Amino acid sequence: MARRALIVIDVQNEYFDGALPISDPPTATSLPNIGRAMDAATAAGVPVIVVQHGDAEPDAEIFLEGSHAWELHPAIAERPRDHLVAKALPGSFTGTDLGEILAAADVDTVSITGYMTHMCVDTTAREAAHRGLAVEILDDATGTLPLENSGGSATGEELHRATLVAQGQFFADVLSTDAWLGRLGG
């Protein structure tokens, strides 16, 4: 039987009313699913680890530590958690104590929710797989947004789907929140 931990990545106000509004799937879908996963994990004794991205530079345009945008969304902040991990880079393991927290709890499987699918969720899943952990990504409890840059452009739906397809090829078991709840027996 898997020894899981639920990782809730960067569910912060920046993605709701800040500079990076999540669109795909919409937060009206992803946020309630993240909450359901947190509640079920707590009830099942699965450790809940909330990750919070921050930038301490005073001129930071996003995730400025101490700002409203940096704060956890109230639906996450009000729920129980076992650990709060602060990070400054996309990977939740990079420069944090997440690896030690998981090792101390003898976790062998990480279940990932949060934002953004193509960035911090993807990076954290790859880091976890490289550490020998099994990875589950709850596809309807993550989300992203449309992007356009020197690499091209993609809608939020395209980016979300393509990232999860790539994850499902090698790194992660991609499944719905309902299917994951079934694995917990609830």
**Which residues carry out catalysis?**
10, 87, 120
Return the residue matching tokens 């990504």.
137
Collapse the DSSP code of 125 into the 3-class scheme (helix H, G, I; strand E, B; otherwise coil) and give the result: helix
Name residue, tokens 């009830």. Answer: 43
C-beta separation of 93 from 99 below 8 A: yes
Residue type at position 24:
D
Cα-to-chain-centroid distance, residue 114? 3
Q: What are the beta bridge partners of residue 153?
A: 148
**Residues near 104 by beta carbon (within 8 Å), at least 6 away in sequence:** none
- H-run or E-run covering 140: strand 134-143
